[in-house]
Amino acid sequence: MIYGTIAIMKQDFFPFIKCRIRDQYIQEWRENINSSSKLAYYSMFKLNFEFESYLSNIKNDTLRKTLSLLRTSSHSLAIEYGRIQGIPRNERLCLCCNLNLLDTEFHFISICFQYNDVRNKYHLHYHWPHVIKFISIMKSTRRIHQLKIATYLKESFNRRNLFIEHLNI
């Protein structure tokens, strides 16, 4: 009779343990994201520990990779490049415009006038850019929005790379 009771206890206990381990992992994951200066923007739109729909919605490998790199701050914008190079945060300015603003993901997607035509092309231009709109763009689960932002990023990064290459000549 004791063996049957232990078997029942194991049966009930393992789902509880599995759930507890998952919850602890998610809590640690969230704390790591929130405490990382590198992932400041990511923590604004990545709220849940779950598969991101853009990974299956965007079939083009280049577009999917471009969006992934921006979302995880693995890009060449001055905010990230400067962090790696040890440049003080307040000196990581956009080289593509004369607004003297930090070259952040938000600036790149919403503000820098170097990409206004591309922004208009993909209907990403808003009269007054703000972080809330930026977050809603990055959080969108609609395939058409994901494709627009990914394509915008690809074209804008290509333009940015040419512009910066020209500056270095």
pLDDT at residue 13, rounded to an integer? 77
Residue with tokens 């507890």: 20
Task: Read off the pLDDT band of 12 (50, 70, 90).
Answer: confident
pLDDT at residue 102, rounded to an integer? 96
- pLDDT score of 4 more than 80: no
- pLDDT score of 57 more than 90: yes
pLDDT at residue 16, rounded to an integer? 85
DSSP 92: -
Specify burial of residue 18 (Cβ count, 10 A radius: 0-12, 13-18, 19+): exposed
Rounded to whole angstroms, how far apart are CA atoms 31 and 47? 12
Rounded to whole angstroms, how far apart are CA atoms 99 and 113? 9
pLDDT at residue 148, rounded to an integer? 96
Task: Read off the pLDDT band of 8 (50, 70, 90).
Answer: low
Query: Contact 66/95 with Cβ under 8 angstroms?
Result: no
Rounded to whole angstroms, how far apart are CA atoms 75 and 64? 14
Three-state DSSP at 125 gives coil
- pLDDT score of 1 more than 60: no
Tokens of 78: 């001055």
Rounded to whole angstroms, how far apart are CA atoms 32 and 30? 5
Task: Read off the pLDDT band of 3 (50, 70, 90).
Answer: low
Q: What is the pTM for the complete model shown?
A: 0.84
Look over the chain and give the mean of its residue pLDDT values, rounded to a whole number: 90
pLDDT at residue 126, rounded to an integer? 76
Beta-strand runs (E) in 8-91: none
Rounded to whole angstroms, how far apart are CA atoms 80 and 25? 27
Three-state DSSP at 93 gives strand
pLDDT at residue 124, rounded to an integer? 86
Task: Give the other-Cβ count within 10 Å of 149's Cβ.
Answer: 23
**Average of per-residue pLDDT across 12-37:** 90
**Average of per-residue pLDDT across 1-16:** 63
Diameter of the chain measured on Cα atoms = 83
pLDDT at residue 121, rounded to an integer? 95
pLDDT at residue 95, rounded to an integer? 93
Specify burial of residue 143 (Cβ count, 10 A radius: 0-12, 13-18, 19+): middle
Task: Read off the pLDDT band of 5 (50, 70, 90).
Answer: low
